[in-house]
Amino acid sequence: MSDAQAGQIDTVMHEERLFPPPPEFAAAAHIGSLDAYQRLWDEAAADTEAFWEKLAREELHWFQPFDQVLDWNPPFAKWFVGGKTNVSYNCLDVHLDTPRQNKAAILWEGEPGDQRTLTYQELHREVCKFANVLKGLGVGQGDVVSIYMGMTPELAIACLACARIGAVHSVIFGGFSSEAIADRNNDASAKLQITADAGWRRGAELPLKETVDAALAKSPTVEKCVVLRRTGAEVNMVEGRDFWWDDLMDEASADCPAAELDSEAPLFILYTSGSTGKPKGIKHTTAGYNLYTKMTSRWVFDLKDEDIYWCTADVGWITGHSYILYGPLSNGATVVMYEGAPNWPDEGRFWEIVEKYRVTIFYTAPTAIRAFIKWGDEFVRRSDLSSLRLLGTVGEGINPEAWMWYHKTIGGERCPIVDTWWQTETGGIMMTPLPGAIPTKPGSCTKPLPGIVPAVVDETGQPVDEGHGGMLIITRPWPGMLRGIWGDDERYVQQYWSTVPGNYLCGDNARCDRDGYYWIMGRIDDVLNVSGHRLSTIEIESALVSHEHVAEAAAVGKPHELKGEAIAVFVTLRDVEPSDALRDELKQHVRKEIGALAQPDDVRFTGALPKTRSGKIMRRLLRDIASGKEEVGDTTTLEDYSVLASLREDEE
Ligand code: WT7
């Protein structure tokens, strides 16, 4: 380990495994060799605007062509200025007079086992009808529509219908509270609410409409509410405000030409809480976002017409927006959409779905993968997964041992894994191993996509030495980038563009190794400082997860008189009960794997880790617990309050 230098983070990880793309995969891939990738990346780096211009003209339908590629007034970007297009048109209408018109766009599976298929033509028809419903309710261009519903096809229809008429959707994940909905509705001045009577989750009904009723009592700008009948639950309908989806659709015309929208017309707002502060409404716009999600879907997932593509995210998150809806549909792909929980009726449900629909591309989150590992391989083995050809991960770093399990047990050692690094703010994937081109190293998101030029810098904005960790920045604008925080330009400038002026600060730390591979080291705020050495949480966690009895781990710092910070780790176990012997064994294990410096002072066993609703470990909360602070901060995004309670009990 090297000496700590100002602003640099030490790495303690020694991952040397390398997995080249399988030759048969590479031979058929859109980008099929390291050379091909490098050529494309170099071309994009040499003239970024020309690179995007060519793709924009070829890949999007333009009602009116743009006359300027980029208007960059840092940090405010306008892409494809002067052009007029429509995202819903690019996802639907473009496929209509082609052989794709009767191809399945969405293969939908409800949690109770019901299913629906929507072809491109059918989806187009439903979207046109619902767009007319929206118009009939007084929704026009620029109006914000708040959507709070489960993972039903109508969620996709609602989003695409907004896009069709130039309304701005704000999808709120179906697990949020009425307070959270009201906050978001008020911040965005939402005009219309869309919801469902209820949603299915682990066999129970989630009372969506009831939650919306409480939210609407505090959302003065929302005038009307459309309610989908999903479970048949009894709900309260307010005369003059609430309307049933099917009643409105019965009356609606299927004729609704797509509005000719400005390239920079807002497409959606998506609120992200991060782990601190008030939720921010990340703003994405029309043409740049559309192009970026379309191209990245094709490059990263190597999408072909015959693929059956399944991204398990919820449309309530950016992953669902970009890689269930807009990216894949722009490519005319067939998308699987599943309503419910991975462990209903039992822990084999995902694998049954893979077998049933013969899924070829499967994209999920590391937190889910660690849950599968904990549940045991027997649930996986029950199903035939031989249709799979490509796997992906998103949302946090994947611990190398979890990566290996995914590779062997799900991928049968034949499927490349794309570890995709990106953010709500970036709109689409920024770094990932292109599956036919870039050899993978477990735990690394490898290289930037064409047009993306990252750097790793210290606090003064100077590049750190090769192999050292620092702040990850993106040095050029890209079409999928956020265009701002809704109603808060100052926060946008301050948070993302002020630390290293003119460069996008993503808030993560990373290091770049000698092969030019990037390793994400966690959020800037999560760095541990032990005896003057700055260590990343993910490396310590990965060392713990490599122990046979550890399912999940979270590492945080707690104040220490001598070392500055001591390491406290929270661990969930598989197959065994907690014991003092195991506690010592885990400390020794980390010491052996990465060195004495990283040995935890505290090891705490817990039944589960507190996570945000999108599955990220709430390290800030754990830090407070580890240091014995009474205050636990804002826990409204906690998935399971009982976890906090049980950790607190352990402490006493
Ligand atoms: C943050 C963004 C990207 C869509 C879902 C999450 C972490 C995401 C990775 C990855 C390491 C990752 C980062 C990032 N993250 N993907 N492959 N490796 N970390 O979107 O909620 O906006 O979160 O998730 O910390 O900044 P988000």
Write the DSSP string, 101-128.
Answer: TTSEEEEEE-TTS-EEEEEHHHHHHHHH
Most ligand 1 atoms within 8 A of CB, residue of 394, 418, 496 to mutate = 394
Q: Which amino acid is at 353?
A: I
Mean pLDDT, all residues of the chain? 93
In a domain, residue 626? The reply is yes
pLDDT confidence tier of residue 648, bands split at 50, 70 and 90: very low
Highest mean pLDDT among 185-199, 532-546, 568-582: 185-199
Q: Which amino acid is at 185?
A: N
Whether 395 lines ligand 1, by a CB cut-off of 6 Å, is yes
pLDDT at 512 > cutoff 50: yes
Q: For residue 454, which of 499, 511, 496 has the smallest C-alpha distance?
A: 511
In a domain, residue 611? The reply is yes
Euclidean distance between CA atoms 558 and 109, whole angstroms: 45
The region of weakest confidence among 4-8, 85-89, 405-409 is 4-8
| Structure confidence by residue, pLDDT tens digits, 376-427 | 999 999 999 999 999 999 999 999 999 999 999 999 999 999 999 999 999 9
pLDDT at 651 > cutoff 90: no
Whether 445 lines ligand 1, by a CB cut-off of 6 Å, is yes
pLDDT at 650 > cutoff 70: no
CATH at 155 = 3.40.50.980
Contact 265, 245 (CB under 8 A): no
In a domain, residue 23? The reply is no
CB neighbours of 358 closer than 8 A, spacing ≥ 6?
308, 387
Last residue of some domain: 212, 244, 259?
Answer: 259
pLDDT at 640 > cutoff 60: no
pLDDT at 277 (0 to 100): 59
- Domain encompassing residue 157: 119-259
H helix runs in 47-191, sequence order: 48-59, 87-88, 94-96, 120-136, 153-165, 178-188
H helix runs in 20-74, sequence order: 23-28, 34-46, 48-59
Q: For residue 235, which of 225, 223, 227, 246 has the smallest C-alpha distance?
A: 227
Residue 188 gets the label, from left (phi > 0), alpha (psi -120 to 50) or beta, of alpha
Whether 420 lines ligand 1, by a CB cut-off of 6 Å, is yes
| Structure confidence by residue, pLDDT tens digits, 629-638 | 744 444 434 4
Contact 164, 196 (CB under 8 A): no
Distance (Å) from CA 492 to ligand 1 centroid:
18
pLDDT at 649 > cutoff 90: no
DSSP codes of every residue in 307-341: -EEEE-S-TTSHHHIIIIIIHHHHTT-EEEEE-S-
Distance (Å) from CA 230 to ligand 1 centroid:
31
Whether 318 lines ligand 1, by a CB cut-off of 6 Å, is yes
H or E element that contains 148: strand 144-148
Burial class (CB in 10 A: 0-12, 13-18, 19+), 47: exposed
Distance (Å) from CA 434 to ligand 1 centroid:
18
Burial class (CB in 10 A: 0-12, 13-18, 19+), 630: exposed
In a domain, residue 315? The reply is no
pLDDT at 645 (0 to 100): 52
In a domain, residue 373? The reply is no
Residues 369-375 have a mean pLDDT of 94
Chain mean position to CA 98: 31
Atom of ligand 1 nearest to the CA of 523: 25
pTM, 2 dp: 0.94
| Structure confidence by residue, pLDDT tens digits, 180-192 | 999 999 999 999 9
Last residue of some domain: 229, 259, 289?
Answer: 259
Residues 164-175 have a mean pLDDT of 96
C-alpha distances (whole Å) from 219 to each of 158, 214, 245 are: 20, 9, 21
Residues 532-546 have a mean pLDDT of 91
Last residue of some domain: 259, 278, 311?
Answer: 259
The region of weakest confidence among 109-123, 275-289, 334-348 is 275-289
Residues 286-314 have a mean pLDDT of 98
More confident position, 611 or 174: 174
CATH at 558 = 3.30.300.30
How many structural domains compose the chain? 2
The region of weakest confidence among 191-205, 466-480, 585-599, 607-621 is 607-621
Residues 156-165 have a mean pLDDT of 99
Q: Rounded to the nearest 5°, which phi and psi values hold at 159?
A: -65, -50
End-to-end Cα distance, the chain: 37
Residues 52-64 have a mean pLDDT of 98
pLDDT confidence tier of residue 451, bands split at 50, 70 and 90: very high
Residues 304-331 have a mean pLDDT of 98
In a domain, residue 552? The reply is yes
In a domain, residue 398? The reply is no
In a domain, residue 13? The reply is no
Atom of ligand 1 nearest to the CA of 424: 22
pLDDT confidence tier of residue 525, bands split at 50, 70 and 90: confident
Distance (Å) from CA 283 to ligand 1 centroid:
17
Distance (Å) from CA 462 to ligand 1 centroid:
24
Residues 447-463 have a mean pLDDT of 97
pLDDT at 259 (0 to 100): 98
Distance (Å) from CA 421 to ligand 1 centroid:
6
The first and second tokens of residue 154, run together, are 């109508």
User: What are 648's strand-pairing partners?
Assistant: none
pLDDT at 6 (0 to 100): 56
pLDDT at 11 > cutoff 50: yes
Residues 76-103 have a mean pLDDT of 98
Residues 3-10 have a mean pLDDT of 63
